Chains A and B, each alone.
Chain A
Amino acid sequence: MKRVRVIPVLLLSQKGMVKTKAFSKPHYLGDPINAVKIFNEKMTDELVLLDIEATTKGKIEFNWIEDIVSEAFMPIAYGGGISSVEQCLEIFARGVEKVVINTAAVERPDLISEVAERCGSQAVVVSIDAQRNLWKQWKACIRGAHKQSKYSPAELAVACERLGAGEIMLTSVPREGSFSGYDVDLLQSVTSAVGIPVIAHGGAGKIADFVPAVIEGGASAVAAGSMFVFAARGEGMLINYPNQAELKTRFWDVVAK
């Protein structure tokens, strides 16, 4: 059976776990250590942790990251506030497999090649936050989607692949937290431009949403935030993750056809 990774994305802020909608209005959910423990028990494929405050604060909470990941026996990627190789090495030393680079991919792209040469491409995920500008063109954004770069998501992805990125996580900013499904055209524009795996993110509300991301969007993995931390749209917090049987019948088998 061909498996496609299903990855919860947890947002961190103020030493807690939060959830946003279209990158705004962070809503406090609880303790990420507990959440990670539950995802571990549910044998989650992989986790992405993003500290949405770290770039603004100019500080990475290394000890806290170590506490969060020490009981997680799955691959973990961490992003937020990363601007130097030394920080990456420190993050890896704390028990994290991959670093997620967003703002630095535009402001200091050499960081990608420096980390890839030192630790391998598989350790470098470039996260591209895509938003439309006034002329409806997709642009890659940085600094928590507060600043638009001059690159289209595909242009930035190609440049990062050339520098040695091992994976791209592509987020549709308008779809984030919307439960309305992935933006398949946006995904397709990036997956057709690069050879490395692309993780779809932004908009997933149900397992059925994963299918077009892979078949039409060309994604190699799917990620979601709200879907795995809320019981349902508009409802309360409930850490959840589909079991193997659900993933097999409603996702992997459908994609394989």
Chain B
Amino acid sequence: MIGIIDYGLGNLRSIQNMLRRAGTNAVISSDRDVLAKCERLILPGVGHFRYGMERLRERDLVDFLDQRALEARVPLLGICLGAQLLGRHSEEGDTHGLGWIPMNTVAFDKRRLAQGERVPHMSWTDTICKAHPLFKGIAEPRFYYVHSFHFACDHPDDIICEATHGYRFASGVARNNVMGVQFHPEKSHIFGRQLLRNWIMMNFERR
């Protein structure tokens, strides 16, 4: 079973619908006992970074997630804000994140945007994907993005895909069993469906 972590942010139903379309069932829960039984976890989220971290703490999920991701090595996929939370810090609310991936979340540099380009970046955007199993079988990948902040990674090796809005930025990251995507696979038609299917099928070294 896949667990969609409910911490009060984001459109969880859409993710559940898309996973069903991708061929699997998922449970939406904030209950640690329920989530502890899940073989894979999705950390969704839309909204403000600080608010997101506060909600995770309020539900006493931070230590639990540390344990699941780092010790039990459960495959975990962050989506949008949920992916940003995987990093060390965000400029949004000057807040520390879960710190599993060596990256920060920074605001779009508006000086580097072309005329007519606005923030938030709210668009279907062609995505340049590395040869990573998450993107297997996806031709001409395009995904739906909506965000005002983006990842800034320490190590290029952690980056699995990039997109351009004014300038090129990392839009997907992966380190061992932990992955995150800035876009919304659950709202990205066949492209997102295939990505989720790939993620479900990916094998990881378990402990």
Is B190 an interface residue, CB under 8 A from the partner? yes
The residue of chain B having its C-beta at the shortest distance from the C-beta of A46 within the complex is B144
A-contacting residues, B124-153, CB 8 Å? 124-126, 142, 144, 146-147
- Residues in B neighbouring A118, C-beta threshold 8 A: 47
Interface string of B179-207 (1 = CB under 8 A from A): 00000101111101100000000000000
Cβ-defined partner of A121 (8 Å) among B9, B120, B192 = B120
- Whether A94 is near chain B, meaning CB under 8 Å from some CB there, is yes
**Pick the contact of A197 from B120, B142, B147, B186 — CB < 8 Å?**
B120
Given contacts A3-B125, A120-B46, contact A74 B17 (CB under 8 A): no
- A74-B187, A119-B46, A123-B46 as given contacts; A196 in contact with B118, CB under 8 Å: yes
CB-defined contacts of B46 to chain A, threshold 8 Å:
97, 119-120, 122-123
- CB pair B184 A75 closer than 8 Å: yes
A45, closest chain B residue (CB)? B124
CA distance in complex: A126, B175 (Å): 39
Which among B14, B21, B124, B189 is the interface contact of A5 at CB below 8 angstroms? B124
CA distance in complex: A120, B120 (Å): 11
| A3/B21 contact (C-beta < 8 A), A45-B124, A73-B192, A73-B193 known | no
Does residue A144 face the partner (Cβ distance < 8 Å to B)?
no
Partner of B126, one of A1, A71, A73: A1
Find the B residue at minimum CB distance from A197. B118
Q: Is the CB of B48 within 8 A of A120?
A: yes
Query: A40 — nearest CB in chain B belongs to which residue?
Result: B189
Contacts of A221 in B (CB 8 A): 122
A224 → chain B closest CB, angstroms: 17
B193–A122 touching, CB < 8 Å: no
Contacts of B188 in A (CB 8 A): 73-74
A166 and B120 contact, Cβ closer than 8 Å, known pairs A73-B188, A74-B187, A120-B46: yes
Residues of A within 8 Å of B156, CB to CB, are: none
Within 8 A of B (CB), among A28-79: 40, 43, 45-46, 70-71, 73-75
A129 within 8 A of B: no
Q: A197-B118, A218-B116 are in contact. Are A73 and B18 (CB under 8 A)?
A: yes
Which among A45, A46, A70, A122 has the greatest number of chain B C-beta atoms within 10 A? A122
Contacts A74-B144, A95-B13 known; A119 to B118 CB distance under 8 Å? no
Residue of B nearest to A1 (CB): B126
- Are A95 and B122 touching (Cβ within 8 A)? no
A194's nearest neighbour on chain B, judged by CB, is B118
A5 to B123, CA, bound (A): 6
Instruction: Decide if A23 is an interface residue (CB 8 Å cutoff).
Output: no
B120 and A3 within 8 A (CB): no
Within 8 A of B (CB), among A147-201: 166-167, 195-197
Residues in A with CB closer than 8 Å to B120 are 121-122, 166, 196-197
Contacting residues, chain B, for A96 (C-beta < 8 A)? 11
**A80-113 residues at the B interface, CB under 8 angstroms:** 92-97
- Indicate if A226 sits at the interface (CB-CB under 8 A): no
Question: Which of A74, A166, A195: most chain B CB closer than 10 A?
Answer: A74
Q: Give Cα distance in the complex from A112 to B174, angstroms.
A: 36
Q: Which residues of B contact A (CB under 8 A)?
A: 9, 11, 13-14, 17-18, 21, 46-48, 116, 118-120, 122-126, 142, 144, 146-147, 184, 186-190, 192-193
Sample of 22 A–B contacts (CB below 8 Å)? A3-B125, A3-B126, A3-B142, A40-B189, A73-B187, A73-B193, A74-B187, A75-B144, A92-B11, A94-B13, A95-B11, A95-B13, A95-B14, A95-B17, A119-B9, A119-B47, A120-B46, A122-B120, A122-B122, A123-B46, A195-B119, A197-B120
